[in-house]
Structure 1
Amino acid sequence: MAKTLRVGIIGAGGIARGAHLPNYLKCGDKVKIVAVADVVQETANKLAEDFDIPHVFMSYEEMFENVEIDAVSICVPNKFHYNATITALRAGCHVLCEKPPAMSVNEAEEMRKEAEKAGKILTYGFHFRHAPQVEALKRFVEAGELGDIYATRVTAMRRRGIPGWGVFTNKELQGGGPLIDIGVHMLDTALYLMGYPEVDTVFGVTYQKLGTKQGVGLMGQWDYENFSVEDMARGMITFKNGSSLILESAFAANVEKADEMNVSLMGDRGGAELFPLTLFQEKHGTLVDITPVHLPKKGFHELELERFVNACLDGTQPISTPEQGVIIQQIINGLYESAEKGEAVKVSESVEI
């Protein structure tokens, strides 16, 4: 068993710089960042200089051919997740791929199969799973404090939060807008807390009302003339156990809050709001709200990267699995398909988790 994990970075953009590399460095001697690959050499060179990375390549294929690597972080636009993941797995690497898994269900399923065939870890960057509020609520759920969770609400809404950088508004490279970018985070968090129940039907609608107009940008000024994704998505998901989930996600909407990310769970013994964490129950003839007085303060990304490194070193699967990646891809793509068709879509393929 290796004592030091040799890591390569695929994609030298903001998520690599702001989340992956700083938190790999917090792992100390367990990790050595040995290479970075990016099609923009200047960006890769700058990242290597700032983080003292010894090798720089313009393609990940070249990186795998020339440097011994145990694991990679894949930090490229969604369109390129599939090829980078398959190549890395075939090169014998464990993979942490940023969310969403891919652009299609078939791609996500092939990624799952390749990881199984290679005997390597494949996990996805759903870092909200590592939030202390999620970990605490998961314990309450598993202890039966909420009972049968039959209704869930997912919110990922921004007032004017269209990213003014990157490729977030490019449908060809991203596959969609807020649903596949921020909505997928809260959707995954809700499904994780619910135990990833088997999906039955999805119904979705999408809107493009504000993104194609010039306006106030709270996250930089976006390119409204080349805005090709939805600016809002709404949907409903039903599960084969009878439960349901309502989802709202937007980069731009005329709402009060500048940014809201939340999950609400409703069960027959109790309910919960995630951010801030509060449980709602009836005890001894009284309606009560339960709030934690202390939660750990370690960052979501820090825990995600720390646990990925430990899993690679000890051979365990992180909490986000390839099978769950397929399921969430089914839901996301099903919602987009439903929005295009104007009717509900049956999710027929089931995946064992």
Structure 2
Amino acid sequence: MANVLRVGLIGAGGIAQGVHVPNYLKCEDKVEIVAVSDVVKATAEACAEKFSIPHVFEDYKEMLEEIELDAVSICTPNKFHEPATLAALNAGCHVLCEKPPAMTVEEAVSMQQAAKKAGKKLTFGFHYRHMPEVETLKRFVDAGELGAVYAANVRAVRRRGIPGWGVFTNKELQGGGPLIDIGVHMLDTALYLMGYPQPETVLGVTYQKLGNRKGVGLLGDWDSENFSVEDMARAMITFKNGSSILLETAFAANVEEHEVMNVSLMGDKGGADVFPLKVYQEKHDTLIDISPSYLPKKGGHELQIERFVDHCLSNQQPISTPEEGVYLQQIINAIYESSESGRAVTIGKEEKV
């Protein structure tokens, strides 16, 4: 097994330069960032110059053919997740693909099958799983402190938080708006804490009420004339084990808080909120609330990259799997389908992982 992971990047924009590269560099002698590619070569060149990356490409296929790599981070718009992932896996690389997994369920299944065939790791950029609050609560859940978790509320809502940069409001390139950008993080967190139950029925609705007109932008001015995604999505999801999730996510909504990112769990022995972490129980004829007095300081992005590197070098399985990616994609696409049809969507047997 190699002692140093040779890494390449597909996509050299904000998430690559702001998250992936800096956190790979924190791994020091475990990682060598060898190459970077971007369809805008100037962006790749700027990234390479900033971080002293030796090889620059405009076409990631050329990078994969010409440079010997062990692992690849995929930091492209969502439309290109699947083809880039397949190319990297087929080239013998482990893959860390940014969220969401793909644009469609079929693409997510294709990625899962390619990883299995190649015998390589495929994991996704769900960095909230690595947050200390989530890791702590996961230990409580696994120890039975909440009992059987049968319900969850998921919120990822901004008052006026439409990104004023990138392609976040371009449906063709991204596939959707807040649901697949911020909502997907809290949805994955809830599913992870609940043991990733198999989805059964989804009733969803999406809205475009504020994004397609000018307004106050807390994350910069956005292009309201070309705003082609939803600005809010709401859904109820039921699972084959009888549990359920209520989800609400928005880039822009008329609410008090500028931003709320939270998951609330309800079990038959206790409940919990994740951000900030607090556990609710009944013990000795008393209703009690439990809050940690200390949590580790490392952030989710740093731990995600650190663990991806270690898992690749040691041949361990990352905590986010391709199978979970398929379940998550089923839910995402069913929410959009339900909104379009006006009916609940049942996830059929043919879509099982």
Deviation at 1:111, TM superposition (A): 0.4
Residues 62-98 of structure 1 show CA distances to partners (whole Å, capped at 9, x for unaligned) of 1011111110000000000000000000000000000
Which letter maps to 1:71?
A
Q: Does 1:193 align with 2:193?
A: yes
**What is the CA distance between 1:351 and its match in structure 2?**
3.8
Residue equivalent to 2:19? 19
3-state SS of paired residue (2:295): coil
- Consecutive unaligned residues of structure 2, counting only runs of 5 or more, are none
Instruction: Give SS of 2:157's match.
Output: strand
Match of 1:69 in 2: 69
Identity of aligned residues (%): 71
**Residue pairs, 1:168-187, within 5 angstroms:** 168-187=168-187
Which whole-Å CA distance do the structure 1 matches of 2:59 and 2:156 have between them? 34
Residues 196, 324 of structure 1: 8 Å contact kept: yes
- Matched residue, 2:34: 34
User: In structure 2, what is the Cα distance between the partners aligned to 1:127 and 1:150?
Assistant: 24
SS in 1 for 2:135: helix
Pairwise mapping of residues 46-195 of structure 1 onto structure 2 (< 5 A)?
46-195=46-195
Gaps of 5+ in 1: none
Aligned residues: 352
- How far 1:240 moved relative to its partner? 1.3
- The ranges of structure 1 where at least 4 consecutive aligned residues each deviate by more than 2 angstroms after the TM superposition are 349-352
In structure 2, the residue corresponding to 1:147 is in which secondary structure? coil
**1:41 Cα offset (Å):** 1.0
TM-score when scaled to structure 1? 0.99
Name the amino acid aligned to 2:201.
Answer: T
Structure 1 position 265 matched with structure 2 position 283: no
- Counterpart CA distance in 1 for 2:174 and 2:40 is 18
Equivalent residue, structure 1, for 2:305: 305
Q: Is the 8 A contact 1:323 1:351 kept in 2?
A: no
Equivalent-residue separation in structure 2 for 1:235 and 1:171 (angstroms): 19
SS of residue paired to 1:166:
coil
TM-score (norm 2): 0.99
User: What corresponds to 2:333 in structure 1?
Assistant: 333
**Matched position secondary structure for 2:144:** coil
Whether the 8 Å CA contact 1:12–1:44 is kept in 2: the answer is yes
The aligned counterpart of 2:244 is 244
CA contact (8 A) 1:153 1:247 kept: yes
- Please state whether the residue corresponding to 1:69 is helix, strand or coil: coil
**Alpha-carbon separation, structure 2, partners of 1:42 and 1:188:** 34
Contact 1:12 1:75 in 2 (8 A): yes
1:291 matches 2:291: yes
Give, in angstroms, the shift of residue 229 of structure 1: 0.2
Q: What secondary structure does 2:64 align onto?
A: helix
What amino acid maps onto 2:254 in structure 1?
N
